[in-house]
Chain A
Amino acid sequence: MDISGIISYTTGVVIMAGIYAVFSLGLNIHWGYTGLFNIGIAGFFALGAYTSAILTTSAPDPDLFEDFKFGGDLPALLSFLDPGIDLWFFVALLAAGVVCGVVALGIGFITLRLRDDYLAIATLGIAESVRLVFLNEKWLANGSKGLYRIPKFMGDVVSAENYEFLYLVAVLLVLAVVYLAVQQVIKSPWGRVLKAIREDETTAAASGKNVFSFKLQSFVLGAFIMGIGGALYAHSVRFVAPISFDPLLATFIIWAMLMVGGSGNNKGAVLGAFVVWGIWTGTQFLPGFLSDPNFRLFMIGFLIVAVILLRPGGILGEERRVSRAAQEREGAAPSEL
């Protein structure tokens, strides 16, 4: 590979790591700050990506034998607004977030009053159901063929070979905004209540906090961020199909990222995404079984168990500023680890 090939490859890796970092931040709100166990990230990933893809793709082209019935063609729709930057992109990101938030509201409303682990099972079910709907309902998103005419962000500003660099900037900007927003939210009184709930639900409820409502808000917020992540993904690879969202690369690896980086710590969530994705893509050049995708699947599971057992705080550990109890606790980590 020549120099420009290496640069282009690295750019692709960093773009994907940045997108994963957005998911990791969303999951951190769920797990790290509230103790909500979401194992259906893939569902929100797919919903976000598809929402943005459907909204921005132009109407189906009869010459291409496309099966879907509706393409939002948002770029054309919003073309009358021309502030010099593709506004439709941000509208699509927000819409993706809102759709995920609404689904999360429904699922959370049903399960968050009940046992902790019902949410996990329900998110798993949502992820599978979302996949099945996009696979079977060809009229909605072209079935297994997927959507592949997703527009580029600022596509006409740079040449095709330089698009990656531009999109890298866009991803990092969105990541920065999400990171700062999450930091603000977590530092706010609202964020402190979340942590109080995670540490001791009974005490939080006794001090008059509506635990259910706070959990629901946290679940919706995290899902909203995941929706943005999904949309970022859609405009990066510009192809979405049901197979794009298998649990390994759309759920498991994000868990590994958050656990490795340090749940309950936004810097850790971002760091974990870059570290794990770096290792994941780096190891494919290793000789023999080390680059075997099956072995890497095993390692993802092993890593999650190992981190919980040996270093529950991940690389960075939890940011400790909630309560004295949390500060005093050795190796404090989510949910009284």
Chain B
Amino acid sequence: MTKLRPSFILWPTLIALSCAVGIFSFAYVRMHINDESRLRFADESEAVRKEILEESGILGYARSLENLQGFFAASVSVERNEFDTFIEHARYAQTFPATRAFTYIRRVTAAERGAFVRMVRGDTSLEPRGYPNFSITPTSTSAESYVVTYVKPFASNEQMLGEDLLADPIKHAAVEEARDTGALTATSLFTYEGKKYFSIYLPVYKNGAPRGTVEDRRANIVGLLAATIDPEAMLAPSSNTPGAVPKIHITLINDATGTTGTTKSVIFEYNGEAGRNKEEPIPSRMGLSFTYQIGNTNWTLMLSRNITENLTPLEISLPYVGGVSAFIIILLLCGIFYSIFILVTKTSRAAEELAGKLLEAEQRLAETSTDVVLDLDAGGKIISINDSAMRLLGYTLEDVAGIHIGRTGMLGGSSVTDFMRELERALRGESLPPFELQLVKRGGGVLIAEANLTLLREKDVATGARLSLHDITTRKQAERALNESVTQFKRFAEAANDAILVLGNSAVLFANGRNEALLKYSPSELAPAGSFLRAAVAQESREAITNALERLERGGWAADTECTLLTKDRKRIFSVVSLSRVAYENKPATIVIIKDISARKIAEQRAAMENAIARTIRESTPETDAAKQLLGDIATVFHWQFGDIWMENQKTNEMECYNTWVQPGYNLLPFESKTRLLAFKKGAGLPGRVWETGKPKWIPSILNESNFYRKKEAEESGLLTAFAFPLIVGKTTIGVAEFFTDSKMDELSQELFDTFLSLGSSLGQFLKQRMANEEIARNLVDLKKFLLAVEWTEDSVIITDIEGIVQYANRAAEKTNGYSRAEIVGQKAGRLWGNLMPREFYKNMWDIIKYQQKTFTGEIRNRRKNGEEYLASVNISPVFDEMGIPRFFVATERDITQEKAVDRAKTEFVSLASHQLRTPLTAINWYSEMLLGGDVGSISDKQRSYIEEIYNGGRRLVILVNSLLNVSRVELGTFVVNPEPTNVADVCDVTLKELALLTNSKRLTLTRDFAADIPVMNMDRSLIQIIFQNIVTNAVEYTPEGGRVTVTLRKEGESLLFKVSDTGIGIPAANQGKIFEKMYRADNARDVKTYGTGLGLYLVKSIVDQSKGRIWFESKENIGTTFFVTLPLSGMAKKEGTKMLSPIRDVV
């Protein structure tokens, strides 16, 4: 639809419309409100009018004089007191409170003036003293005077008495008017004693005298009755009742008789609005006027008010509200309608667009096919045609649109009727097989086409048909030519654009020149037919062609078939093959017409590949081998036989084979195996090169390629060409995809090249992601194993973060400290089960693991959930990340309470046992000593020798007990090592001195060979003593009299060497292996020393081992022995323990 500029026109219109409506509403409401106001005004005015003009107002007051007049009508000579009394009785003062005074005015002629005055002066009917000061004021010399004679009330109105009305022009006029008309006449306002009054006069005529004419009246006038009225008092609304005051501007006017005729004069004005609203000009004011005629005077009452005066603020604002609301509402309504309008058009436009797109897509589809596609309506008129129509037939859409297909001239001759018949059938919904149609090109020229009609429908209603026409002219012509003569056929064939073959049963009977150009086979190479088919038709198309041939064989008819052919040089060609059965040279044969459709194929391939890849990626799961699938997707489209993916191994900086794909049915094992084994550095081999350049590479002939490592295997497997492209993430090449084929591959078009480049990006991303996921999965498996191991180990394992908050605790931990995992995790380690050790312990522990970042080992006392305390051997190690920052602590604990208890029991047992043993031993020794010492009497020599035996036995036992104690300490590991700086040479000397007695008694030559530079070493004195004592004592004891003992002490490298050699009995070779064993005594030792314990060397070895030294010996029986001991110069390490080993003092 045509697009107006809606915004340009629409909005101002909208706004104008809204304004109009708004204003209209405003006016309407205003009008209505005003009417309301007017009504109210009218009501109030009515009230005012009544009050002013009627009984209580002017009219009423007028009547007052009429009544008086009636009184005078009876007799004009009314006495003063009669006048007074009448008025009194008639209660005039109450009824007419606004009247200042009622007066009787007498006409006095000039002649009567003197007597009149005298009369009045002497009138005592009311006042006892009369009116001595009475005079006519002002003094008048005119012919007549109208003099105020009676005044009621007199008090405060004395001044009125004697007033000559004719002196005042206003009054004069009114008097004459009244006299002349005989009717009530009002004056205009005059001032009397500072206030404004008006008077009304009523004439009194002579009783019975004629008064029909002015002259009569003038002749017979006697006097006047008058009332002087204060208009304010008469008319002003009472201010005593608030709210009763109407908000009206009141003006009372009379056309009083003035000096120059009647003039309108304002008698009374009252502005009820005053102070409230400023008077607005008409037409904002409402006004009413009423006119009354009383007597000679026309009274006009004017009432006015601002229209808005009696409106509430709401009412005043109502028009505005109404107007604005209307404005907005209209605007909104318009807006809504507009939106709906837009929406509807948008939707329909969208729908249209979509329909349009679909149509376009269909049309494009129709365009790209090489067939002519025509769309017809139900009547057979052409709706659309595709580009092929133009190419093939020379018609454009303009030429044929809307014209019945029969009348376009496209259908040749009888074809029209045939076609119409087929069209009818199609429209009826029949599915039709293809049929032959003859077509006429625009400039003449005939085509034969295979026609296909499909129904076009919209919502179950047939709207027309689609006619697709496939050019089979060549085939038809070939057939026809052949029907005429073979020669003709051949001529035709050679001229044709397509490759044409005639296949006989066992040979290729004919092949035109195009064949050679297309397939590269020379005619002679083409026979026999069977092998030709096998050679030229690619594997994937064999089935289709075979089927087609079979169908032909059976007498059927084969549609044109898509077929991939292989040229002689193994290049793939995409073609459409047309087959038909003919008689060739009187033999049944098959004509094969080959149309090269490579170009179209390429486009199709690209689409197919992209689709397949997209689907594979979309549907990939961690389980699927997506990489393999992707390789397959790509290779299949291009009929490549082998594909592989290489990925970079970051550690080795080489590309390794990640996955391979082989076309099913192919055996490429040599190549595949080699591929999987290799790894390429940048620049090496095909993967390496693509990695380096980041660009796809095509190798037309592998065998001629220098930088190709799998040449041999490729040849073995029959692979000829290769293509590889990089897999990219961002700007980095992370992998390479390779493809190999056994046919000769055309160099890829630039289009395809670019396609692969972009493909490399998507694939790169995808594979990187996948590899990352695979890594994670692998790690997960490892992690699971690890977790399981930690979970089930017997030792308690607790993992905390660097603040000591427990992240994980295994089963053993739960068992050990009695708390469940839920209770432990999230707490600071030890909060629940620790805090039993002194503060320094924990401080030290933290210091070591957190600040020194070393492993802490120690024994800790903890408390289980059930309160039970236990001793644990604990090991806490910090765990570092790749950057060396500690992230976690791992604490393992082993409950050693039992162990410890057992150890303690053992130690205590040993101590106790040894103590218990010693006591009786002491008795044996001391008593023996006493006996031997003669302290209890003399003994015989024999007795002595016996007792000596006892004594010796006791002493030996003592030594044994001590040795056993030492051994038990060694075995329990409970002995103490207390290293301190020791002069080892001195200690050794002490030992030698101790043995001096024995040495001398056996006349042994003791050689002391001490180096001068033996340093002071950190040694436990008692332990080094034990070593020296044992070794030297052994040497001395096992060397017969006169022998030699040499003691050497010197530095050897990083160690101290202690060497003792003797010329003693030596250790028999058979016994040497066991010499360090507990309780072991060499066979020849007993002969020399009967009471050896067999424990000495065991003890020495234990100490030497503990001190990280070495002990060994060289000995030959009956020659001598040399013992060697080395100890590290760094000395002994301090060892915690409970007991010291005691040196054995062997008392000889």
Q: Do A and B bind each other?
A: no
Give B residues with C-beta under 8 Å from A.
none
The chain A residues found within 8 Å of chain B, CB to CB, are: none
